[in-house]
Every structure is written in structure tokens, then in C-alpha cells.
Amino acid sequence: IRPADVSIKCMAANNLLSRRDRDCFPLFEEALELDPNHVEGLRGYGVALRVLDRDHASAQAAYRIALRLKPDDAATLVNMGVLAASSEQVDVGDAMDWFRKAIATDPKNVHAHLERGILYEESCMDIEAAEDYYLQAAKWGQRSALKGERQASADALSRAARLRWRYLNETRRARAMYESALTVCPNHPAATRQLAALLSELGSDDPSRCLYLNALRLTPGDADAWGELADLHVRA
């Protein structure tokens, strides 16, 4: 067995998974048949089981095998935290423990900081702590050359901007954060649409309209964006 063959299958499977394509399953299974101890394959298979099948028990089993093989794999630790946070009965303490372990293993792990921020915002309602972790994620992601980490950085900046706008009414700071997100990831759907909404609220109709059109180019099925753009036309 050539390790490259397994890695290529896992890369192809992860690419399909990113599009929520169930054809990722046979590729993960073929890769793991060739090498049952392939950590990235086990991790990716676990994500597919959680996201596409909502099979949390099987996902956890795959993650635990990966961690038995590589206990300090920060990406798998993050996924264990996401699993705990996305269960029907959210286990906040367990999720926090996994994210702490991931950050202790890799203090610059963008996804660990982002997911910990989401947990603070959505489950703990601790806006200040959430923003701190979002900004940590943004800082490390902006310095990365990896597409996934830059995407996560833009996610974090968009979330931090929304907190500043919706909870603190700091529109200038929020606008700067959205613009930073779009500098990091120019085709980021959430940052594009939310900046459009913010500019609309501030009365900057023409820039807002352009951003809505770009947001709809990125996500044509976004019914809310279509509605907000229609409202903008009515107001004009």
C-alpha cells in the first residue's frame, strides 16, 4: 500500500464532503480499508458521519480511534468539541474541555478558537468572551496561507462584527470588521450579506445594493437576501 494512495483518496473525499456530497463515503471507506490507522481519514469519516448522517455515536467512535493513534491531533480534538456542542443535549462543559485541549496542543489553531467563540456566544451568552476567541481565530487565520484557515478567519471576523453591531450598536467598528473579513476572504457569503444589511441600515443604498447582488451571486438560494434586496428597491 502506498501512503500517497490513501492520502489522495482522503483529499478527494474531503473535497466531496465540503460540498455535502455523499459520494465521499465510499472514498473514505476505501481509504480506511487500505489503512485503518490513517488519522486524517478517520477524522474526515467522522465529520461525514456527523454532518451528513447525523450519526454522532459512529462519528465519536472514529474520532476516538484517531485520538488513540495520535492523542495530540488538534483537529480531531476540535471535532470532538464540535460533536459535544452539536448533540441534542449540548454538553457545554465537555465541549469546552475539548476546545481547551486543542488550544493547549496548538495555541494558534484557528478552528479551536472559532468554535470556542461560537460556544460562548450561543450556549453561554458570554458576548465578551465570544468576541475574544473570534479575534484570536481571526488573528491566526489572517496569517495563514491555507484556504480553510483564511475562511475560518473571515467567519470569526463576521461573527465578531455582528456582535459589535447587534449587541453594542458599534456600527463603525462592525463595518471595519466586515471589510477586514472580505479582505481575508473576498467571496465570503456571510460577510458580504451582513455588510450589505449594515450599509442599508446606515442609508448607503448603492454600496448595499452592490453587496447584496454579490451575496446572491455567491448564494443564489438565500431567500432572506432576496427579500432584503427587494426592500431596498422599494425604499429607493
CATH code: domain of residue 36: 1.25.40.10
Domain-located, residue 84? no
Looking at residue 164, its pLDDT comes to 96
Q: How many domains does the chain have?
A: 1
First vs last C-alpha separation in the chain: 64
Q: What angle (nearest 5°) sits at the alpha carbon of residue 61, between those of residues 112 and 57? A: 90
User: What's the pLDDT tens digit per position in 84-119?
Assistant: 999 888 889 999 999 999 999 999 999 999 999 999
Burial class of 93 by CB neighbour count within 10 A (0 to 12, 13 to 18, 19+): exposed
Amino acid at 115: E
Domain-located, residue 149? no
pLDDT tier for residue 2 given thresholds of 50, 70 and 90: low
Comparing CA positions, the residue from 173, 140, 170 lying closest to residue 155 is 140
The C-alpha atoms of residue 23 and residue 174 are separated, in whole angstroms, by 39
The C-alpha atoms of residue 25 and residue 53 are separated, in whole angstroms, by 10
Domain-located, residue 54? yes
Domain-located, residue 50? yes
Domain-located, residue 97? no
The C-alpha atoms of residue 144 and residue 109 are separated, in whole angstroms, by 10
Domain range spanning residue 32? 1-71
User: What's the pLDDT tens digit per position in 60-89?
Assistant: 999 999 999 999 999 999 999 999 999 888
DSSP assignment string, 187-232: T-HHHHHHHHHHHHHTT-HHHHHHHHHHHHHH-TT-HHHHHHHHHH
Statement: the pTM of the whole predicted model exceeds 0.75: yes
Domain-located, residue 20? yes
Q: Could you give the 3-state DSSP secondary structure of residue 96?
A: helix
Q: What angle (nearest 5°) sits at the alpha carbon of residue 236, between those of residues 159 and 234? A: 80
Domain-located, residue 150? no
User: What's the pLDDT tens digit per position in 149-174?
Assistant: 999 999 999 999 999 999 999 999 99
